[in-house]
């Protein structure tokens, strides 16, 4: 329905102008409908959210009729003449999908955060499973749906609930298929998230699962060194991201075996967003107009864009204070600069 409604307006400027008149009548600012790309998960929730927050779209179809529309748009407004119903039967599914997709949308954004790593993954996925199971247990389909569901016939209610519960259950089954909640290595890696003291036995299990050669006696000592350093942290340091805490702890002591365990664990990718982002940047750099760029130059530009977090003004100040770097850039000679 989201795709069909977007397509209905995207192919005709006349239809868009008619829709804008609905906004003028309600004295609201016109908001363009968003396109959902089926292969992009993150595009669905914003598209549904924009459609739900713009009741003028529904009013438009009621006013001009649905003769030139697809069947699903006709069904979208077909029972608007029933005064006891504030939403149509198809809108039940729209509002259900809205709260349903919000869960996945927020989860994907959480996974794509720069500081999220393998030590956080198990809790994130487990939390998703619990949210879905609770919704099945309490028959919760979103506040809007639960408030309006009793206004529909028994048959319609059964059809909707069967579809909604099936969506929840299929999501849970899909999660369980690749992710072993009982024996996943990510469950073991939770001990490295530094929310609690390190446990020696858990570190040995991680080393075994990652097939690491370590000195187990030394690991015992190193474990207690890190625990002592953690207890000496200030409240501000304890609230810092997991990676920052590990950098501080590992740089403050000689713990070679623990370094091997931690760096191996944190090197495990939890999603492919970084790889896709690199390919996206590369496509913007290596255009048809710049097709003579050497691979080495593309690599250099990629490394610069990906690894520098400074803003333009900050970078200008940084470069201005490094005369050696400026002279090296002006020179035609090859140089190495650190």
At 262-278, the pLDDT tens digits run: 999 999 988 887 888 88
Could you list the residue range(s) of the whole structural domain that residue 261 is in? 185-266
Q: What integer pLDDT is reported at residue 284 of this predicted model?
A: 86
Q: Which residue has the higher pLDDT, 330 or 251?
A: 251
Q: Report the pLDDT averaged over residues 22-28.
A: 82
Cβ contact 119:185 at 8 Å? no
- How many distinct structural domains can be found in the chain? 4
Domain boundary among 176, 196, 229: 176
Q: Are residues 279 and 258 in the same domain?
A: no
Q: Is the dihedral of CA 95, 101, 105, 111 positive or negative?
A: positive
Asked if residue 153 and residue 52 are part of one domain, the reply reads yes
Q: Are residue 26 and residue 137 in the same domain, yes or no?
A: yes
* pLDDT at position 53: 85
Answer yes or no: do 143 and 199 share one domain.
no
86-144 pLDDT tens trace:
788 888 999 999 999 999 999 988 988 888 899 999 999 999 999 999 999 999 999 99
107 with 137, same domain: the answer is yes
Quick: pLDDT tens for 163-185.
Answer: 999 999 999 999 999 888 988 89
Q: Do 326 and 297 belong to one domain?
A: no
What phi and psi values does residue 178 have, to the nearest 5 degrees?
A: -95, -15
Judgement on whether residues 8 and 153 belong to the same structural domain of the protein: yes
152, 290: one domain: no
Most confident of 19-28, 110-119, 221-230, 301-310: 221-230
Tell me the two tokens of residue 9. Answer: 């307006």
How confident is residue 329, by pLDDT bands cut at 50, 70 and 90?
A: confident
pLDDT tens for 37-80 read 887 778 889 999 998 888 788 888 888 787 778 888 888 777 66
Please check the confidence at residue 254 and state whether its pLDDT lies above 60.
yes
Confidence label for 83 from pLDDT (cuts 50, 70 and 90) = low
Distance, in Å, from the CA atom of 32 to the CA atom of 10, rounded to the nearest integer, reads 10
Q: Tell me, what's the pLDDT at 120?
A: 92
- pLDDT of amino acid 24: 83
Whether residue 52 is found in the same domain as residue 168: yes
6 and 153 belong to one structural domain? yes
pLDDT band at 312 (very low <50, low <70, confident <90, very high): confident
Evaluate if residue 157 carries a pLDDT over 90.
Answer: yes
Residue where a domain terminates, one of 128, 150, 176 = 176
Domain identity same for 120 and 38: yes
Q: For residues 53 and 105, what is the distance between their CA atoms, to the nearest angstrom?
A: 17
Print the SS3 string covering the chain.
CHHHHHHHHHCCHHHHHHHHHHHHHHCCCCCCCCCCCCCCHHHHHHHHHHHHCCCHHHHHHHHHCCCCCCHHHHHHHCCCCCCCCCCCHHHHHHHHHHHHHHHHHHHHHHHCCCCCCHHHHHHHHHHHHHHHHHHHHCCCCCHHHHHHHHHCCHHHHHHHHHHHHHHHHHHHHHHHCCCCCCCCHHHHHHHHHCCCCCCHHHHHHHHHHCCCCCCHHHHHHHHHHHHHHHHCCCHHHHCCCHHHHHHHHHHCCCCHHHHHHHHHHHCCCCCCHHHHHHHHHHHHHCCHHHCCCCHHHHHHHHHHHHHCCCCHHHHHHHHHCCHHHHHHHHCCCCCCCC
Task: Verify that 190 and 336 share a domain, yes or no.
Answer: no
């Amino acid at each position: 329905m989201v795709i069909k409604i977007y397509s209905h307006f995207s192919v005709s400027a006349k239809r868009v102008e008619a829709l804008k008149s609905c906004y003028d009548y309600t004295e609201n600012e016109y908001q363009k409908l968003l396109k959902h790309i089926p292969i992009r998960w993150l595009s669905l929730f914003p598209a549904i959210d924009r459609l739900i927050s713009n009741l003028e779209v529904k009013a438009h179809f009621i006013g001009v009729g649905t003769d030139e529309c697809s069947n699903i748009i006709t069904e979208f407004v077909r029972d608007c003449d029933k005064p006891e119903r504030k939403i149509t039967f198809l809108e039940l599914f729209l509002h259900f999908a809205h709260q349903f997709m919000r869960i996945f949308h927020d989860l994907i954004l959480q996974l794509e955060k720069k500081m999220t790593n393998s030590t956080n993954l198990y809790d994130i996925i487990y939390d998703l499973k619990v949210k879905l199971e609770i919704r099945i247990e309490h028959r919760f389909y979103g506040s809007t749906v639960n408030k309006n569901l009793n206004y529909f016939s028994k048959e319609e209610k059964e059809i909707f609930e069967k579809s909604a519960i099936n969506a929840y259950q299929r999501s849970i089954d899909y999660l369980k298929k690749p992710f072993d909640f009982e024996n996943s290595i990510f469950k073991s890696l939770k001990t490295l998230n530094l929310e609690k003291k390190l446990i020696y036995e858990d570190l040995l299990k991680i080393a075994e699962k990652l097939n690491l050669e370590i000195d187990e006696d030394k690991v015992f000592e190193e474990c207690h060194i890190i625990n002592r350093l953690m207890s000496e942290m200030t409240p501000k340091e304890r609230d810092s991201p997991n990676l920052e805490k590990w950098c501080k702890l590992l740089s403050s002591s000689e713990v070679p075996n623990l370094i091997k365990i931690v760096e191996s664990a944190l090197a495990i990718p939890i999603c492919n967003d970084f790889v896709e982002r690199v390919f996206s940047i590369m496509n913007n750099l290596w255009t048809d107009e710049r097709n003579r760029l050497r691979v080495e130059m593309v690599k250099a530009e990629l490394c610069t864009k990906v690894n520098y977090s400074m803003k333009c003004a900050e970078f200008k100040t940084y470069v201005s204070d490094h005369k050696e770097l400026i002279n090296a850039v002006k020179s035609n000679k090859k140089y190495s600069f650190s």
